[in-house]
Amino acid sequence: MDTVTSIRIVAGLVAIGVLFIPAIFYLLTLSRALEKCSPASRTMQPGMVWLMLIPFFGLIWNFFIVLALANSLGREFPARGVTHFDPEPGKSRGLAMCVCMACGIIPVLGIVASLVSLVLWVVYWIKIAEFSRLLDQFPAQATVPTVTSGF
- CA gap 96, 108 in Å, rounded: 19
Domain ranges within the chain, ordered by starting residue? 3-137
Residue 126 pLDDT greater than 70, yes or no: yes
Contact 20, 55 (CB under 8 A): no
- CA gap 133, 33 in Å, rounded: 9
**What confidence tier does 8 reach under pLDDT thresholds 50, 70, 90?**
confident
Helices (DSSP H) in the chain: which residue ranges?
Answer: 3-36, 57-79, 91-103, 109-137
Instruction: List, for residues 28-73, the tens digit of each pLDDT value.
Output: 999 999 999 999 999 999 999 999 999 899 999 999 999 999 999 9
- SS3 of 147, please? coil
**pTM value > 0.95:** no
